[in-house]
Amino acid sequence: MGRKFIDCREIPSDMNCSLALVADTENELVEAAVMHAVSVHRHQDTPELRSQIRSAIREGSPPVAAPRQMA
């Protein structure tokens, strides 16, 4: 069981956020990503948001170069 990450650069946004979050557990990562999404991107903490965040989680560490954005 390795590290997990979520990279805001993969998600289309008007603000072009460059934050990447990394954690050892999916639950820890989801909690941090929800706090970021609510406080920075002004999303509401909903089950749908949490589901979207879980689906964007990747194994390993975020790349240094900006990844291609998800469609």
Residue 65 pLDDT more than 60? Answer: yes
Question: Sign (positive/negative) of CA torsion 43, 33, 5, 54?
Answer: negative
* Banded pLDDT at 68 (limits 50, 70, 90): low
| Annotated domain spans of the chain | 4-59
* The pTM of the whole model exceeds 0.75: yes
pLDDT bracket for residue 14 (50, 70, 90) = confident
Q: What is the pLDDT of residues 19-52, one digit of tens each?
A: 999 999 999 999 999 999 999 999 999 999 999 9
DSSP-based three-state secondary structure for 21: strand
